[in-house]
Chains A and B, each alone.
Chain A
Amino acid sequence: MISPIPLEGEVAVEPVERGRPGKSYWQESWERLRLNRLGIAAGLVLVFFILVAITSPILAALFTHTDYRTIDLANTFARPLSAGHILGTDDLGRDELTRLLFGAQVSMGIGFLSVFVALTVGATVGLVAGFYGGLIDGLLMRFVDMILAIPAIFLFILMALLFKPNAITLALIIASVGWGSIARLVRGEVLSVRTRDFMVATKALGASDLRLIGRHLLPNVLHVLIVYGSLYLGQVILIEAALDFLGLGITPPTPSWGNMLTNSETFFFHSSWLVVWPGITIFLSVLAANLFGNALRDAFDPRLR
């Protein structure tokens, strides 16, 4: 579990000077993104996983005709493509595909919830700190320093012990550490935007703080959030899998990709597919999130290409 700092570094290394982004900025970015075929493909894969996660009960009803809990002790370790089981069955004879579908719900759900919370908190703190500066900035950033000083994995273990987690608490645990670097990043962006002419002018016109932050600062840091959100999604999926591996994540029988992978390690020698499938879904979703994040960054900041 490596902190995503370096990727953030790539984003932040070169703060690009630009004016107030108008429609044209987003349009231009979109044009650039559209031309990035790999990025678009990654985006589509991501959308695919999201759709699967949302519709998994329907998909299961339509295609696999079984529930993720349905056990068939007479048919354990069925090979892929055996009768009625496209991806085979696990050690309790449960349909692997069905479990992967529901696992998507858990893994992607945790991913998105965690990203959403971390972005919201991080952006708010970063905006407030950057906008007001001074004492508020000092206090908030020192707090961020503290959070970031404690090794993330240690904090995860501590908190996972504290709230024997379900999907939601697990997402919150991950987010509670992740917001720190986002806040730092956003604050940096805000500092570079704050002093620009249009901000000064708007302020002179008597706009309220809330309006200044919401209408003028936020749009200027939005692209950073989008890029970081995508990259962070991949991180969260990996972190969740690692916590499952340590026995501190989602507990069976609820399937998550991480615990499916972890639980099947034992059977690698005689039923390797049980290790392969969840491995592939984790790999693909993280890969897609990373590639899409990179593509977004390239689109927003063409110079860094």
Chain B
Amino acid sequence: MLAKYLVRRVLATIPVVIGVTLITFLVMHVTAGSYIPGVDLNPALKPEDIEAIKRYLGLDRPLYIQYLTWLGGIVHGDFGRSMIDGSLVSRHIFDRLPATLELTTTAILLGVLISIPLGVTGALRRGSKIDYALTAMSVGGFAIPAFWLGLMLILLFSVQFQAWGLPFLPSGGVMTPGTQGGDLLDRLVHLLLPATVLSFVYLSIWSRFTRSSMLEVLSQDYVRTARAKGMSERRVVYLHALRNAVIPLVTLVGLELPALVSGGLVVEVVFSWPGIGKLLYERAIQTDYTTVLGITTFAALLVVLGNLLADILYAVLDPRIRYA
């Protein structure tokens, strides 16, 4: 039964993969057409040279052939080559991926670690001033543009602090220039501001969510029973209620996993963080369409794969799931 479900689930992913690649490919094709930056507008190239280059890149073939060729490459882990310098897109991706993961996982961890105590506090003191303050903060935090927050923090913690002669934080980058990046402390210092900004939104959502699910759990029968049995409030809250309240949060955090690759784009741009998002942005404005296409597809495939794994994991772990 389980095996059959798994097979079906995997098979169901195939059309999604094809669809995703087709969508990105078509969007890109409409955007770029067969335009090649640095070639089409390069007066140093003669028309026949341009033709030759296009032939070399396979741009003279029918669209579906181009798509199939490209798809075939992806199956082998080849996400194409840059239109600008002919470099391998997959190499760019793997050059940049660690920085992005470093940033986004830190932000998500930070979000989880801070939002749970905040949410619990809010729920336990429902209606109190603290609760209102926390709610206001979380709602407010959700309304601040991330790029603006980032710039303001740079101005405060990097620029003004320095002007005031205080210890200050670096305004961007993953490490002090010229170093190899082996110094853990140096990396953490660089990570602090961007991770804070990125975690801000998560924090807003998750603390509110923890609060409501905590409230809900606290009103459940078993909690009331536990209380009635004379269990200490502390034990009730932390042993029983919290555990059950946090489980739905796990699902919610799981929903953000796709953002591991793409979620930090704006923050990466603000903090010159050399990640995937910044790579995509840089390449997009250089009209390096093939690279943009490769990155987008890579990110989308990760999401599809992630969803698949999550479903399989649920099916294996939770016997209640019906294999429909």
Contact = CB atoms under 8 A, between A and B. Distances in A.
A and B touch in the complex (CB under 8 A): yes
A287 B15 CA distance: 39
Contacts of A238: 143, 145-146
Nearest to B269: A246
B252 A6 contact: yes
A149 B20 contact: yes
B68 interface: no
Contact of A158 (B144, B209, B261, B296): B296
A286 B277 CA distance: 25
Contacts of B263: 2, 151, 153
A282 interface: yes
Contacts of B146: 1, 238, 242
B20 A261 contact: no
B105 interface: no
Contact of A149 (B16, B259, B281, B284): B16
Nearest to A243: B266
Contact of B266 (A151, A246, A282): A246
A229 B88 CA distance: 42
Interface residue tally on A, bucketed by range: 35 or more
B15 A154 contact: no
Interface residues of B, number: 56
Contact of A245 (B27, B147, B307): B147
Nearest to B132: A38
Which residue, of B140, B143, B269, B280, has the highest number of chain A Cβ atoms within 10 A?
A: B143
B206 A6 contact: yes
B28 interface: yes
Interface of A: 1-3, 5-7, 9-10, 13, 142-143, 145-147, 149-155, 157-159, 161-162, 234, 238, 241-242, 245-247, 258, 261-262, 265, 268, 279, 282-284, 286-287, 290-291, 294, 304
Pick the 3 closest A-B CB pairs, nearest first.
A151-B262, A286-B143, A146-B19
Interface of B: 12, 15-16, 19-20, 23-24, 27-28, 30-31, 139-140, 142-148, 151, 155, 201-202, 205-206, 208-209, 212, 248, 251-252, 255-256, 258-259, 261-263, 265-266, 269, 277, 280-281, 284-285, 287, 292, 295-296, 299-300, 303-304, 307
